[in-house]
Chain A
Amino acid sequence: MNIDHPSAQIPVSIRTSIVETFRVQAGLAVSVESVSAEVGGEDKSIDCISVLGLTSSAFLGSLALGFPAPTLLQLLEKMLGEKYPALTAQNADACSELLNIIYASARTSMNQAGFDFQPAIPATVLGANLSVALRNSSRVLKFKCQSEAGPFLVALALRKSA
């Protein structure tokens, strides 16, 4: 998953969609504290991560949204008005739903800009101290986000289609 000359429109659309999704759906102000292209690396303290595959005629890749458990639990409380003691397979679907909204919204603006990204279905993994394993020398664009519910991460990996 390499970033090979990605159009600037793609990360801009995703960043805008992250902020808007959390503002509207969860009433949460989110700041994207840094966007960095990293080689490999581990994302300690991610306990729930949703990933979807990106497909278009120009690019292939993946988009992921990951939360530490305390952040997602606070987010659930904010959205649903009830406290949850722990993440479960049921309530962790919030991660998948938020990624779905982020991607659908970003996809609309990316496709209006001339791309042809296809719909995708997220898969969610629940665990402890998860990290995304990347191929050697692969790079991923990480959006490190901060909110009053806590930190979370969005990761974008792209390469040109063959």
Chain B
Amino acid sequence: MFSLNTKVLVVDDMLTMRKIVIKHLKDLGFTDIVEAVDGKQAYSVLEAASPPVQLVVSDWNMPNCTGIELLKKVRHDARFAKLPFVMLTAEAEAHQVKEALEARVTGYVLKPFTKETLQQKLEAAAKAAA
């Protein structure tokens, strides 16, 4: 599992969903959580964060820059190429999962989800990123 001091970036254009994810993360013990409303803002947060963001939990469908676009951008930037990136999305069609895997997503959480599911997926992502 990720250390509870891990700096987590939560990206979702929906305020309610950001609040749900942040609540679950806090319930799991995470304390250092930052947020962004789309991929564009998320990338700015990644570039500016000090200490650096160590885990991204991102929605897929967002205006300006989608989650998959953010993932691809991150993987093409040497600074963030190995940053654990968990996609949290309602999109479950095979071609979308394939696209995320090809873009080297670390984990994939399907909405709707529980706190327990998020925990399991983060544990798996931590192992995959190790």
Contact = CB atoms under 8 A, between A and B. Distances in A.
B20 A79 contact: yes
Given A21-B112, A80-B23, A101-B111, A91 B91 contact: no
Interface stretch (B11-19, B78-86, B122-130): B11-19
A111 B93 contact: yes
Contact of A97 (B16, B91, B92): B16
A62 B20 CA distance: 27
B92 A105 contact: yes
B16 A79 contact: yes
A80 B20 contact: yes
Interface string A94-126: 101100110111011001000000010100000
> Which of the listed residues B15, B16, B23 has the most CB atoms from chain A within 10 Å of its own CB?
B16
B1 interface: no
Interface in A51-84: 76, 79-81
B14 A96 contact: yes
Contacts, number: 53
How many A residues are at the interface, by size bracket? 20 to 34
B31 interface: no
Interface size class of B (residues with CB under 8 A): 10 to 19
B112 to A, nearest CB: 4
A101 B112 contact: yes
Contact of B16 (A23, A27, A81, A94): A94
Given A24-B112, A25-B113, A81-B23, A108 B14 contact: no
B61 interface: yes
B90 interface: yes
User: Which 4 residue pairs spanning A and B have beta carbons closest together?
Assistant: A104-B90, A25-B112, A24-B112, A94-B16
24 contacts: A21-B112, A23-B112, A24-B113, A25-B20, A25-B112, A25-B113, A76-B16, A80-B19, A81-B23, A90-B15, A93-B14, A96-B14, A97-B16, A97-B17, A100-B90, A101-B112, A104-B90, A104-B92, A105-B90, A105-B92, A105-B112, A108-B92, A111-B93, A119-B91
